Amino acid sequence: MAYELYYWPTIQGRGEFVRLALEQAGAEYVDVARGRGGVAAMQRLMDGGATHLPFAPPFLKDGDVLIAQTANILLYLGRRHGLAPHDEAGHLWAHQLQLTIADAVDEAHDTHHPIASGFYYEDQQAEARRRAADFTGNRIPKYLGYFERALERNPQGDRHLVGRQVGYCDLSLFQLVAGLRYAFPRVMTRLERDFPRIIALHDRVAAEPRVAAYLKSERRIPFNQHGIFRHYPELDNPE
């Protein structure tokens, strides 16, 4: 039976981390809200149509199993599709890395919405500038420095974050880099030379046959100004 992925239909957002795992696994899935069911089908589950109620998308339905929270979904898929180690320590390490990527994604979002998601960007622009200056000056280097070290210390080689084959953390790190490049191109141009292992991993993931086919397909919608990663030139502070 095909997985059902529920996510907002017009943005990559957090759904993209799940899509990349499904695509790399070669798993059959239906992107429900992009299809005939639309957002209404997604809303129905959140409004009480499910026992294990999701708070927010993305969520994944596998028959009777309904799972929300991006890192939790990837924990589930990782085990089933060989995208994470099976032993407990390796499995938890992959989950830890994924939760850290999730933190970085939250902070990337907060650069353009530092006060509240419900307010317009224009009504929090001054705070956004301050937040983005800190994110680009301190937080991106700290997060990327951490993942660079994690790659360097992988006992099975620096081509992957965990183990010796492409896993869901590698796919997510690829997506984090892609998002940061879209949102902060000038900052990233300046920073990337400090993180050669991450950039090499990004390029290898993009060249994985299933990922490459996905990136060229219509299923991969472009980054846009409604997603988590948004490009506001005034926030792309290269200093």
Ligand X SMILES: N[C@@H](CCC(=O)N[C@@H](CS)C(=O)NCC(=O)O)C(=O)O
- Contact residues toward ligand X (CB under 6 A) are 13-14, 56-58, 69-70, 102
Q: Which of 178, 229, 219 is nearest to 19 (CA)?
A: 219
DSSP E strands, the chain: 3-6, 29-31, 59-62, 65-68
In this complex, which beta carbon is closest to ligand X, that of residue 70 or of residue 100? 70
In this complex, which beta carbon is closest to ligand X, that of residue 58 or of residue 78? 58
**Structure tokens belonging to residue 43:** 């809303």
Read off the amino acid at residue 151: L
Least Å distance, CB 5 to ligand X, is: 12
Is 30 in a helix, a strand, or coil? strand
**Structure tokens belonging to residue 163:** 């183990």
In this complex, which beta carbon is closest to ligand X, that of residue 74 or of residue 191? 74
In this complex, which beta carbon is closest to ligand X, that of residue 56 or of residue 207? 56
Contact 1, 57 (CB under 8 A): no
Contact 15, 5 (CB under 8 A): yes
Report the distance separating Cα 121 and Cα 232, nearest Å: 10
Least Å distance, CB 73 to ligand X, is: 8
Least Å distance, CB 207 to ligand X, is: 27
**147 - beta bridge partners?**
none
In this complex, which beta carbon is closest to ligand X, that of residue 68 or of residue 166? 68
In this complex, which beta carbon is closest to ligand X, that of residue 71 or of residue 166? 71
What spatial distance separates the first Cα and last Cα of the chain, rounded to whole Å?
50
Least Å distance, CB 229 to ligand X, is: 11
Least Å distance, CB 33 to ligand X, is: 11
Q: Which of 88, 89, 59 is nearest to 74 (CA)?
A: 59
Is 81 in a helix, a strand, or coil? coil
In this complex, which beta carbon is closest to ligand X, that of residue 43 or of residue 138? 43
Least Å distance, CB 136 to ligand X, is: 21
Contact 81, 210 (CB under 8 A): no
Least Å distance, CB 105 to ligand X, is: 7
